[in-house]
Amino acid sequence: MVTYVDYFPSRGMKESVGDSWIPKGASFKQYDFTEGMNLKDQVPFDAEALANTIQTKSIVNETEGWVQNVPQADIEAQLENFQTQLKTYIENQNPDATVGEVLGLQEIKILPPRPLAAGVPYNRIITSQTFSEVPNNLRHKFKYSLATESMGYTIFLVVETFTQAVNSRRDAICLIC
């Protein structure tokens, strides 16, 4: 990536009219990591017991690929019990814990402003292609389909567009609302 900046004579330290294209590594960041609570080991979830409950109380037809009578109340009860155990453990460890303290944090190290370097901190090994515009086959797309369940799944609306178009329009996501 290159950026058009005011490079001479301040090397980007003053905001003014750009005069030079400078290569930049926008994704080159350093992070500070903070460990969260060890919930997996301290409050283990018995997934095997939940799976056994579902298998014993449900009707499964593997040949036709369907399941009936899934014990929703049992699933909810086990999940609520696990949630209570998690809450109790967290409150006993640190009742005022933030989400970051519970799950862990990854924060970008904010460096003080400094003059721009003349290049990026790594070497380019190879350039496979160059083009003035990204070809359509290399662009990410957003696809949203609506279907009805009657008589199997029948799709009646498909919206597909480039993610750039979705990001640039405030009303584009309202289709999902």
What per-residue confidence (pLDDT) applies to 169? 52
Per residue in 28-81, pLDDT (tens digit) is 778 999 999 999 999 999 889 988 898 899 998 888 888 899 999 999 999 999
More confident residue, 165 or 70: 70
pLDDT band at 27 (very low <50, low <70, confident <90, very high): low
Tens digit of pLDDT for each residue in 72-93?
999 999 999 999 999 999 999 9
Q: Give the per-residue pLDDT at 176.
A: 46
Its pTM surpasses 0.75: no
Q: Percent helix, strand, coil in the chain (nearest 5)?
A: 30, 20, 45
Task: pLDDT band for 18, please (50, 70, 90 cuts).
Answer: confident
